[in-house]
Amino acid sequence: MLRLGRREFEPHEPVIMAIVNRTPDSFYDQGATFRDEPALARVEQAVADGAAIIDIGGVKAGPGEEVTAEEEVRRTVGFVAEVRRRFPDVIISVDTWRAEVGAAVCEVGADLLNDAWGGVDPGLAEVAARYGAGLVCTHAGGAEPRTRPHRVQYDDVMADILDVTVGLAERAVELGVPRESVLIDPGHDFGKNTRHSLEATRRLDEMVATGWPVLVSLSNKDFVGESLDRPVKERVVGTLATTAVSAWLGAQVYRVHEVAETRQVLDMVAAIAGWREPAVARRGLA
């Protein structure tokens, strides 16, 4: 059972995490939700389209202008508070690697800390424990935040992913983070080249077999773009194909830009797998 905020999810229940970037320079939307009004409209639409989690980020993942902890707090805390006020039942996640930012957003209602940089600040898990928040434990190959991989190598990429993410998850529980609120993430593109991310995808069932809920952040990433030789705005089809494979292999939470399309993919995979009844079943019955 996965428990986040006020919600509980069964093992085969897919969960959508909608991305809301509070940055002026995000790789995908170039700052479309940096201002409050469009960001709140994005939250409203994402919830209407089926997102259970809103993931708010104040710093773009890639290289760029320096963003101090103080600026990250300024971009996220007030917005988290407003989302909490307007959407009391939605699960609020904040994408940060900094413990001080994690504490600030938990103070105003964040339910989940999405640590995409693999525990680079060990204090973040302590913050999650102190506030009873959930934690995403990600494999980033030891990379420093906001750096791109350079000639990174693994003897066995999935073995490294399992060692790191399970270790981070177990540490979080030892610190006091609720076990049912800890997820593991293979970290597509983070500290990995395209072949590493593809291998991590086809071996996702090994992560699922650990018993920890698996989160995947696939949306429009470079490994999709390089696999198909497509720019950022033409990666939706590849992302959805990767989503379907990940769902079949047992991933549970999907961090995405395209919520409605992802919902249909996940519902279709669940119907094929027998975890969900068809929405309508008339064919051949009349």
DSSP state of 183: E
Angle (deg, nearest 10), helices 194-202 and 236-249: 40
DSSP calls for 190-259: TT--HHHHHHHHHTHHHHHTTSS-BEEE-TT-HHHHHHHT--GGG-HHHHHHHHHHHHHHT--EEEES-H
Residue of 84, 221, 235, 283 marked catalytic: 221
Cα distances (Å, whole numbers) of residue 228 to 2, 148, 200, 225? 34, 20, 17, 5
Q: Which of 233, 255, 263, 283 is catalytic?
A: 255
221 included as an active-site residue: yes
**Which tokens in the block code for residue 284?**
């051949």
Q: Is 233 considered catalytic here?
A: no
CA dihedral 124, 138, 112, 96 (to 10 degrees): 60
The residue with tokens 């999405």 is: 114
Q: Which residues neighbour 41 within 8 Å (Cβ) at sequence distance 6 or greater?
A: none
Let me know: does 210 contact 162? Beta carbons within 8 Å.
yes
Q: Mind telling me the catalytic residues? A: 221, 255
